[in-house]
A and B are shown apart, each in its own frame.
Chain A
Amino acid sequence: MEQTMFGEAKIKAVGDLMRDDERVVIIGGAGFGGLLHSKYVKPLFDEFDSRILRTPIAELGFCGMGIGAAIAGLYPIVTIGTGSFAFEAWPQICNEAPNITYMSGGQVKVPVMFHALVGIRISGAAQHSARPQAMLMQVAGLQVIAPSRAADVGPLLKAARDSERPTFWVDHSLLFEETDLYPPGKAPPALGKAEVVRAGKDVTIVGYSIDLVRCLKAAVELEKEGIDAEVIDLRTLTPLDWETVCESVGKTGRLVVADECYPSASVASEIASIFADKGFGLLKKPAKRLNFPAVPVPLSPPLEMHLLPTVGKIVQAAKELVA
């Protein structure tokens, strides 16, 4: 299969959407790839120069502008840049955008997409390494998308636009140059639908975004040791597809979740909680949650690596469950 980098697929998908739909504008000059990948983003910005609003360093202001522009008939993709900067715009993202459609009885649509490069990007230290996605799952009315695979990017982008819902799209900073390890599924990706990327029978490993890439690499390692892992990509965090996870664990009886968020009220804890009610009794062993421990992210690379949910830790957790 053709190997497309995740970031290239992202930029192509945005370009396709802008060619297809003149309502689409980009607000924020941060692009989609950060400084490291600006050469990939440049052609997009050159082609659509007049539809890109290069903003001042005013996340609160320009995220609010995205909401207003959406109300006025555009489809703005608001590029926040580093995920930690979303906190500067928290009042607009969490307390304006998600309330408007509901509180207007469905009459005022807010089709806006906020986009950020999140996660432990290696030596970003505590103020540039935020994973705001779990916090955003606490925001009713906000759709949270966090794909991991190049093949899913275009269809999910279109689906988000068509949904007319305010959406926060999370890309991990380290995802840009990753390529798909497994071919795309038969069904096109849909909002609120997870995908079994690799079928297996011994253990279910759940991830999203960069953690999913780590899960798949772990599955390859596990295969060498005779362990057949089923790997699930959540793709959208809100709405969350608990059914696919439940079905898989019903088969394997074992669960590992990899999630860079802090342990409390995280994506991993939400997945694990499925087996306290809807999937009660399906686990044969206690679930293993691999999170970043609850400390601010340290700068020093060995400390950071020590705390990350790495491929090695996923392999180890799966082996302990299957043993």
Chain B
Amino acid sequence: MAIKDYIRERFFPHIWCPGCGHGMVLNGLLRAIEKIGLDKNEIVMVSGIGCSARISGYVDFHTLHSIHGRALSFATGIKMSRPELKLIVPMGDGDALAIGGNHFIHAARRNMDMTAIIINNRIYGMTGGQHSPLSGYGTMSATSPYSNIDNDFDVVELSVAAGASFVGRTTTYHTKQMTDILGQAIIHKGFSVVEIMSQCPTYFGRKNRLGSAIDMLEGFRKNTTPIGSKAKQKDPDLIERGIFVRKKMPEYCDEYDKIIKRAMKGN
């Protein structure tokens, strides 16, 4: 199946800006799904609000464009009623960790079988470039014109601490790694988190003088390194990418089934 078979061509060209990383994530995600050979009818994509959330309109799976920050809650409901379906939940950094921060940590804690993709462009793009919890100290945005004094989350450490059983990080520059990690995350049984560092040339790039989308992609190449590389020991500021955690843990729907069986025995 070609990747064009997985999209709703009538809605293209998409709304994202020229050079936006979200399109690259869509590209990589479609290739991952093609590679692992999932059927369109097995997949449900649930998204919240924001530039990243528009992705669910472009794919020809079962899709739900829900409310801000609550994509994981809607996905939880779908998974509980139809556990045989594969849930994919793409979210922006603000959608996942500011508005939806509470939902995110508790979905991870329950270890429900779904894949949360955090497309991290470090800004709220749709509403005009306000700073997000992933913008980081010292960055410029529409709401931090004299530079941001908030510290940022480390998505990987946060997800590990919250109990996610699969945690990975990659960038839009590393397309092959992105396809590979997304594929493994979707196959993984349990709550998978994949952080994809993405570029917003329109807001984050422009406000922080990072240049064009191409310059930002070059930045991802220079500022990241595979997990455990020698380069990281020399330069601790490099951001590691790869699969940080992959462990077998009891999955929520399976445990719930066991509870139903146990309760029925009592009658």
Chains A and B form a bound pair: no
